[in-house]
Structure 1
Amino acid sequence: MKLLLPITLLLLTQFNLSAQRTQEQNPIKITGIVVEQDTGQPLEYATLVLQSVDDPSKVTGGITDETGKYEVETLPGKYNVSIEYIGYKTYRLSNQTLNKSINLGTIRLNPDVSQLEGIEVVAEKTTVEVRLDKKVYNIGKDLTTSGANVSDALNNVPSVTVDVDGAISLRGNENVRILINGKPSAMAGFGSTDALRQLPADAIEKVEVITSPSARYDAEGTAGILNIILRKEKTLGFNGSINTTIGHPTSSQISSNLNLRTDKFNLFNTLGYSYRTSPGNAFFDNTYTSGDYDRIFEDRDITRKDKAFNANLGMEYFLTEKSSITASVFGRFSDESDLTENESKRYEGTTVTNETFRTEDQSEDDKSYQVSLNYTNNFNDEGHKLTSDFQYSYDVEDILTTIVENNTIPDTNLLARENIYQDETENEYLFQVDYVLPMGDAQFEAGYRGSFEQSVTDYQLDTLNQNTALFTTNLDLTNKFSYDENVNAFYSQYGNKYGKFSFLLGLRLENTQLKGKVASEYDEAALQEVLGSEIDLNFDKNYLGLFPTVNLILELSEMESISLGYNRRINRPRGRYINPFPSRSSRTNVFQGNPDLDPAYANAFDLGYLKRWKKLTLTSSIYYQKETNSFERIQEETGELTSDGINIIRSLPINLSSNQRIGAEAGILYSPTKWLRLNGSFNFFQFETEGVFNDVDYGAKNTSWFSRFSSKVSLPSDIDWQTNVFYRGPSENSQTESKSITFVSLAFSKDVFGDNGTLSFNVSDVFNSAKRRSYTETEFFTSESEFQWRRRQFTLGLVYRFNQPKGKSKQKGQQRNDDDGGDEF
């Protein structure tokens, strides 16, 4: 909220100084500092108002920076001086004769008791800030995130949904770019969000929902960007916190966040260990138009065990008062095992003629490392600065999957045994330079970003030969695929404000190189015959694109604004989507990438409205997006059968001609009384796809919506109670209908140990209803399915803080060189 309040300045009518200025009159400067009365904390974006006594219609002024300082230029004269900051009593100096430059010194503002009830909403609950290119949701005291992970916390952010598989969507679109502290990170995984399930939710300070990204950001992600800002400790001295949780089904976690800050350096360290089991289940009811069986019913029981350790160590060293260098090293090590037991019943007509039992045992050893280096030079206190970043990330995954399938009816015998070996390594180098030059109310930015990533997937399938009792390698599927994605980008943008109107215009130039290479024991001619003559085994593609951005805000009043945004985005295919070798999750289902995939491009428009009252905040928007060359994952029959007569089905990503999405969303933050706080959001959209592939029309039109509601009640004995409800309506694409989903979470908390600790208890998915249900229909088969990632969860947690009591204020002088996009996590 703080960042929006100072835009009061935009409501002040501009002083027409030129008409009154004479040769004898020279401008003077009014300077000073604004802080909070009790704590001495600098108040950023407090507003200084200078009103002419002789002509009250003439008003000028300025706002404070992050250190509470202001500097305003005006003509000599007699003024009424006031300093305003919402939630605080206005400071006034009347009939002041200002004939020369003057420093008004340190001005201390007292809280306005009449507004404290409204202010408490800001301190206790998630709030929203609307900026030119994004919405910022400050994660407040959200009880349901205690003991949860980052993915769980994101599911409480408006516009964002996380499905039962962990896939993150923004306004119903899964093509969203995930950043940590403004950069791609090993903490978020590479093209996967699994790692977010291993990071504690209380590590989040705020989430930036960037549906209309400015030119400063990578153009990747047609849905937009989610930038997760992790907490940074800025208080002088040694401080930290320890967080521990235990739950059922088994879910235990302990993490620490330690910080040592002096005037010369800031040393920070984060450690975390977690162990959890996530029992799940699924069923699939499939019918076929060909093959030996008319219907196959699968009942799956899933058991997961995840152990993970992560550590981050870094130091920020202050070279001068205005420059610093920050270095950090991050590591994550996880050991995961998934056991899926699948009982299948196979029908001829209505009679069960065969039953099988299959176990799929998958173990995954994952190691991620990341080294980051940042240099920041603030040339002055007005925002003139230069930053440069270097980041190297390395990730390696070793996966072994053993599949054993036995006949149980009519006979008991081994049907098949397979071992799948999959090694994936990724290396990524990131170089980035950003320059910011303020020019009064205007600001100019320019920069370069280079991202160079290589991934190598080594896949081998061994099948047991029951005649020889030896495993033989299936050369049709065994391969090694290397994929390079190199992106060089330059950008510049310019922003300014005129009275009530602000704008930010930007242009980004990106060159994308996509390279793929296949290595196999097959000779190239034989391999081409296996995969298909249309498949390009080795490719090197280049794409050059311009990505303009326009973001506008009109301040209707201090508490009301309208925004309009336009941006062009790109969706680059990831390695798995273009790897031409099939891989399979079972003997009857294979996934094959498509190296002919080209990037998709999207043009998006967003019209937003914000209105604040004393106890209520309303945010709303209408959006439209048109995407060309869009990706669609289809299923088709391969024409092949397994040894026991089951059709083998292939999933394949393709470029469809286009899709478009139009929708509207609204969010409300409301605190009718001191003991009750309500938070709700609603998103409605229509999605339409057009395209034909292999003479099959995959066009579809779908209308869906999702909403969430949260209430927080303060009970006697200082106990807080929070309830979260989420609902997502039914949706469909060209082949699959997904049914609605509803789930509820409850949480309770109480501060202990003199407010140094917080004890919490929560229940995730109270009614055990978070299940994905879908129905797929093609010309050759239908499939009705239900999948539950994790059953209802009970969690008990304790957070203990030392030298940073709950609700502490930042200490004076601690604001130096702290930036949301930094590497302090």
Structure 2
Amino acid sequence: MKAFTLCAMLLFATVATVAQNNTKALNITIFTEGKTPVEAATVELLRAKDSALLKTALSDKTGAAGWESVAAGTYMLRVSAVNFSTYFSAPFTTDGTMAVSLPAVTLLPQNATQMQGVTVTAKKPFIQKLSDRIVVNVESSIISAGSSALDVLERSPGVTVDQNDAISLRGRAGVIIMIDGKPTPMTGADLATYLRGLPSNAIERIDIITNPSARYEAAGNSGIIDIRMKKDQRMGANGTLTAGYGQGVYPKTNAGATYNYRNKKVNIFGNYNYNYRELLNHLFINRNFYDKGVFKGSDDKDNYAAFNINAHAVRAGVDFFPSKKTIVGFVVNSNFSTFARKAEIKTVVNDLQYNPNFSFVSLGTDDNKSDNTIANINFKHSFDSTGREISADVDYGVYNNHSLTRTASSFYNLNGTPKRDDDILDGDQTGKLILRTGKVDYVNPIKGGAKLEAGAKWSLVSSDNDAKFYNVFPSGSINDDTKTNRFYYKEYNNAGYLNVSKEYKKFNMQVGLRGEQTMVRTRQQKGAQAFKNDYFKLFPSAFFNYKLKEDQTLGVSVSRRIDRPGYSQLNPFLFQIDATIYSTGAPNLRPQMTWSYEASYTVKQLNFTLGYSRTTDPQNIVLSKILDVIPTFEIKPGQDSNITVQIPVNLQSSDYFGLTATTPIRISKWWNMVNNLNVFYNHFNGNLGGAQLNNGAPAANIRTTNNFTFKKGWQAELNANYNSGGRYGYMVARGQWALAAGVQKSVLEGKGTLRLNVSDIFWTNRPRAKVVYEGSYVENWHAFRESRVANISFTYRFGNSKVQAARRRTTASEEEARRAGN
């Protein structure tokens, strides 16, 4: 701890020292067409010869921005603000000794004609609040260097990750995780493993969309998180090389390379990233059992789990431009990873007087291998210059997983002598998921500022999961037919949507309707059980924005959404965590439906959003006595009867009330701050085994991001966040906070970047919670995770610096890919 504290003090001392050396000035003022000053516009100083970013500033209330010191040289400016077109200045020269005041800049509305032919590569702010989303520019974050994708998500505004690795947005579960516009088929532990193996240097940005339109998949109770991978848009041949090392309790390394070649007829691109991470999760659990309120015993668990991830991610593709109006593209994304876990779980079982009765130790190992490949063919054609276009995508993906597990438990009396024979369970599990999807989208502008969007999609997802379990004895292994099973799943989904939007002088509006037909078929080998569920749902949406003044906008929106169960959540396999804890899925789990309402107010760069949503049949991971869920479960002689199982269930309903504020502030010409506040209240209704739930709790997430820009290519970043906890079904989480800091130096004439950062400096980001099933079960837990890590990374950029307009790819398999790991 002393070493990390000293490191932080030295960092801040360096920041202060550099700040005191600024002496000169470069000034500019930004206005609208109506001569209104633009506050919090992002102003970037670029070196003219290679467009390398040197400094960043935000304009103040008068529209003024600038820097205290600029060395002699030739530069240009890039100025951007929400709802305005980006402005690029002509090159200018300063001798570094005299203060320079540049001509005032007039920003044009976003749909106005932009200057043609001037494009540069420049750093964006780490967090941007746009009209329909929050954008986290991962490349711009010093602290994100050397981290994993999951680490970056945990530091994003409104995003939390719980003890089961479930990701929630603004206090609500049911978020859709997309990769390059298509939902990943993984959730839960599988998704967390994938995101831990995906290095941050492979990510360009993360889009957080809380109320999507009808064009997006109807899935996502709390919204969409879209992780956009890097793709170089510069003309000619260019790319990047990255390498990094991190040290927490255990080491971490990452390396990657991107390559891009683009001319007027073809764009060839590809990247490779490798990530190795050793991690820990030290979990302490106190469990208390009751029968109609009468105490029936307790136990205390000390679970120390260490695991490592070796992950390789490969992406390759090509775009052809047969004409100026047509693009045909091919993309292949593959991920190969191994996951190894070793856990030691020490349990002390207490009697009715809370005194130790006996103990047992469970050793758990997991050797997991997975490979995922998805191929995409895409087409886009523009009919004319009005924006009328059609696009189509076809995806085919295969997700394979193989896992070998062992859980070995030894039981002891208080004097250390064996209580009974060891309990050893081996598992051999394989899974294969295949997705086939296709979609087509059409955009047709209409006279008078209106636009029509229409589209259709179809998908077929099938999975085959085979799990074999064996009880191990000194004489050999015997198949455990109470756990061995095979599960087949098929889902057909057909969807269509229609969006109509219209822009007026003072306001704009959009209404949409999406319809989705779903047919589900499941079958499990054990007991020859089959399940069928067919349904058709409509998902309307409407958005309205009114411009009160030039810099003030009022907006309202409403939409209906659905969250289908993840594929693994329906899987009835029974997995052993230790001798008294299991987990399983629920084939009869129903989708949850949500109506979401939002009202927002934007003044300059400040944004405030009020939200309310109501969800029926909300899905929640709960704990239950195993005999209540699986009456045929066999409790062996001498075995503790207080056995629980984690299982997804549908509660009756949940209500969410929330206020979100995004407030960028320019403290000085070298210090920019972005603050995010999310205050919300969650209320749940449900009943599990007679444990009635009708309760709610307030909560708050507060995050501040501070960026410091100094001379000679130095930059620094300081982030702090606080999460007060809150209620999530039967669980109430406690508060936690973290502080992170980093510095960056531009080297090799702007082509190289060296970064050093420390996350969770004081190791305070420790989750804690209490779970209560009235009259039945009470659990208290807290965990130590490897959130404090020091990282050093280096990035080198090579090739042409001239940028071509980026092409956004949203492939067909968005929703299916997200759910495959559930």
Q: TM-score over 0.5 for the alignment?
A: yes
Q: Does 1:419 align with 2:426?
A: yes
Task: Tell me which amino acid in the other structure corresponds to 1:173.
Answer: R
Q: 1:89 corresponds to which residue?
A: 105
Partner Cα separation in structure 1 for residue 433 and residue 401 of structure 2 = 9
Contact 1:293 1:346 in 2 (8 A): no
Give, in whole Å, the separation in 2 of the partners of 1:506 and 1:401. Answer: 48
Instruction: Using the TM superposition, give the Cα deviation of residue 336 of structure 1 relative to its aligned residue in structure 2, in angstroms.
Output: 0.9
1:698 aligns with one of 690, 693, 705:
693
**What's 2:99 paired with?**
none
The structure-2 alpha-carbon separation of the partners of 1:124 and 1:594, relative to structure 1 and needing over 3 Å to count, comes to closer
Aligned to 2:556: 564
Structure 1: any 5+ residue segments left out of the alignment?
12-35, 42-62, 69-85, 93-104, 112-118, 525-536
Question: How far did residue 665 of structure 1 move?
Answer: 0.8
Q: Contact 1:151 / 1:166 at 8 angstroms: preserved in 2?
A: no
Aligned-residue offset at 1:774: 1.4
2:610 paired with 1:622: yes
Contact 2:86 2:107 in 1 (8 A): no
* Structure 2 residue identity aligned to 1:609: Y
Q: 1:67 to 1:8 in 2, by over 3 A?
A: closer
Distance 1:507 1:283, change over 3 A: same
**Residues 601 and 791 of structure 1: CA distance in aligned 2, closer, same or farther (over 3 Å):** closer
TM-score, length-scaled by structure 1: 0.80
Q: Which amino acid in 1 is paired with 2:375? A: V
Deviations 1:620-660, CA, capped at 9 Å, x for gaps: 10000011122233322234745423412233333222111
- Give, in whole Å, the separation in 1 of the partners of 2:370 and 2:438: 25
Question: Could you tell which deviates more after superposition, 354-363 or 636-645?
Answer: 636-645
Query: Which residue of 2 is the match for residue 457 of structure 1?
Result: 465
Query: CA 1:753–1:110 in structure 2 vs 1: closer, same or farther (change >3 Å)?
Result: closer
State the distance in 2 between where 1:738 and 1:589 align: 21
Corresponding residue to 1:681 among 665, 676, 680: 676
* Range 380-389 or range 264-273, more displaced: 380-389
Whether the 8 Å CA contact 1:229–1:820 is kept in 2: the answer is no
Stretch of structure 1 that moved more, 704-713 or 253-262:
704-713
CA contact (8 A) 1:383 1:438 kept: yes
Task: Judge conservation of contact 1:88–1:109 (CA < 8 Å) in 2.
Answer: no
Which residue in the other structure is 1:504 paired with?
510
Aligned pair 1:637/2:597, yes or no?
Answer: no
Measure, in 2, the Cα distance between the counterparts of 1:459 and 1:88: 68
2:329 match? 326
Q: Is the 8 A contact 1:191 1:574 kept in 2?
A: no
Secondary structure of the residue aligned to 1:547 is strand
Deviation at 1:583, TM superposition (A): 3.0
1:26 corresponds to which residue?
none
Offset at 1:714?
A: 3.2
Residue 8 to residue 484, structure 1, CA distance change in 2 (3 Å) = farther
Question: What's the CA shift for 1:372?
Answer: 0.8
Return the match for 2:455 from 433, 447, 456.
Answer: 447
Q: 1:418 & 1:493 partners in 2: Cα distance?
A: 54
Instruction: Check conservation: 2:31, 2:105, Cα contact below 8 A.
Output: no
Read off the aligned partner of 1:323 and give its amino acid letter.
Answer: T
Look up the match of 1:389: 393
CA distance in 2, matches of 1:822, 1:517: 30
The Cα shift of 1:39 comes to: 9.1
Asked if structure 2 preserves the Cα contact closer than 8 Å seen for 1:288 and 1:781, the reply is yes
Counterpart amino acid of residue 317 in structure 1: F
3-state SS of paired residue (1:157)? coil
Indicate if the aligned counterparts of 1:443 and 1:495 stay in contact, CA closer than 8 A: yes
CA positional deviation for 1:165: 4.8
Q: For residues 542-575 of structure 1, give each alpha carbon's deviation from its aligned partner in whole angstroms, at most 9, with x where no partner exists.
A: 1101100101111223322111110000111223
In the alignment, residue 148 of structure 2 is paired with which amino acid?
N
- In structure 2, relative to structure 1, the CA distance for the partners of 1:423 and 1:665 (3 Å cut) is same
Q: Which stretch of the first structure deviates more once superposed, 710-719 or 294-303?
A: 710-719
- Aligned equivalents of 2:445 and 2:336: distance in 1? 43
SS across alignment from 2:143: helix
CA RMSD of the aligned region, Å?
Answer: 3.4
1:44: which partner in 2? none
The 5-angstrom pairing of residues 646-661 of structure 1 reads 646-661=641-656
Q: Is the 8 A contact 2:124 2:137 kept in 1?
A: no
Letter in 1 for 2:654: N
Structure 1 residues 561 and 820, CA gap change in structure 2 (3 angstroms)? farther
Residues 653, 684 of structure 2: 8 Å contact kept: yes
| 2:362/2:579 contact within 8 Å kept | no
1:539 to 509, 531, 537: 531
Asked whether the 8 Å contact 1:170–1:176 carries over to 2, the reply is yes
The offset of 1:183, in angstroms, is 1.6
Please state how far the C-alpha of 1:797 moved relative to its aligned partner. Answer: 0.5
Equivalent residue letter for 1:818: R
* Structure 1 position 282 matched with structure 2 position 283: yes
CA–CA distance in structure 2, aligned partners of residues 250 and 609 of structure 1: 45
The residue type equivalent to 1:367 in the other structure is D
How far off is 1:316 after superposition? 0.6
In the TM superposition, residue 407 of structure 1 has moved relative to its aligned partner by 3.0
Cα deviation, residue 496, structure 1: 0.7
Aligned equivalent of 1:492: 498
Distance 1:185 1:667, change over 3 A: same
Q: Who is 2:143 aligned against?
A: 144
Q: Which residue of 1 aligns with 2:13?
A: none
Deviation at 1:712, TM superposition (A): 2.0
Note closer, same or farther for the CA distance 1:346–1:166 as it changes in structure 2 (3 Å cut): closer
Contact in 2 for aligned 1:186/1:369 (Cα 8 Å):
no
Change (3 A) 1:292 1:215: closer
Rounded Cα–Cα distance in structure 2 between residues aligned with 1:38 and 1:755: 12
Q: How many corresponding residue pairs?
A: 709
Corresponding residue of 1:586: 578
CA contact (8 A) 2:147 2:199 kept: yes
Q: Which of 392, 413, 431 is the aligned partner of 2:438? A: 431
Choose 1 or 2 for highest CA Rg: 1
- Answer yes or no: is the 8 Å Cα contact 1:686–1:703 preserved in 2: yes
Q: Give the secondary-structure state (helix, strand or coil) at the position aligned to 1:423.
A: strand
Partner of residue 94, structure 2:
none
* Residue in structure 2 matched with residue 799 of structure 1 by the alignment: 795
User: How far apart, in 1, do the equivalents of 2:237 and 2:660 lie?
Assistant: 43
SS in 2 for 1:195: helix
Q: Distance in 2 between matches of 1:788 and 1:443?
A: 52
Aligned-partner Cα distance in 2 for 1:124–1:168? 26
Cα distance in 1 between the residues matched to 2:346 and 2:582: 20
Deviation at 1:109, TM superposition (A): 12
Provide the residue aligned with 1:236 in structure 2: 235
User: 2:261 corresponds to which residue?
Assistant: 260
Greater relative contact order (CA < 8 Å, ≥ 6 in sequence): 2
Query: Which residue does the alignment assign to 1:380?
Result: 384
Q: How far 1:124 moved relative to its partner?
A: 4.7
Gaps of 5+ in 2: 1-29, 37-45, 52-82, 89-101, 628-632, 813-822
| Aligned partners of 2:31 and 2:104 also within 8 Å | no
User: Per-residue deviation at 1:820?
Assistant: 5.4
User: Could you say what secondary structure the match of 1:154 adopts?
Assistant: helix
Query: Residues 289 and 295 of structure 2 are in contact (CA less than 8 Å); yes or no, is this contact kept in structure 1?
Result: no
- Match of 1:555? 547
- Residue 518 of structure 1: aligned partner: 524
What residue in structure 2 maps to residue 784 of structure 1?
780
**Aligned position for 2:718:** 723
Amino acid at match of 1:496: K
**Alpha-carbon distance, 1:38 to partner:** 7.1
- Give secondary structure in 1 for the equivalent of 2:232: coil
Shift in Å at residue 368 of structure 1? 0.5
Distance 1:374 1:6 in 2: 41
The residue aligned with 2:479 is 473
SS of 2:643's partner is strand
Q: What one-letter code is carried by the residue in structure 2 that aligns with 1:790?
A: E
1:591 and 1:187 map into 2 onto residues whose CA distance is 17
Are 1:187 and 1:196, in contact at CA under 8 Å, matched by a contact in 2? no
CA distance in 1: counterparts of 2:85 and 2:552, whole angstroms: 22
CA–CA distance in 2 between the matches of 1:207 and 1:273?
A: 20
The equivalent of 2:594 in structure 1 is: 602
Query: Are 2:373 and 1:369 equivalent residues in the alignment?
Result: yes
Q: Distance in 2 between matches of 1:627 and 1:400?
A: 38
Provide the C-alpha distance between the structure 2 equivalents of 1:654 and 1:684, rounded to a whole number of angstroms. 27
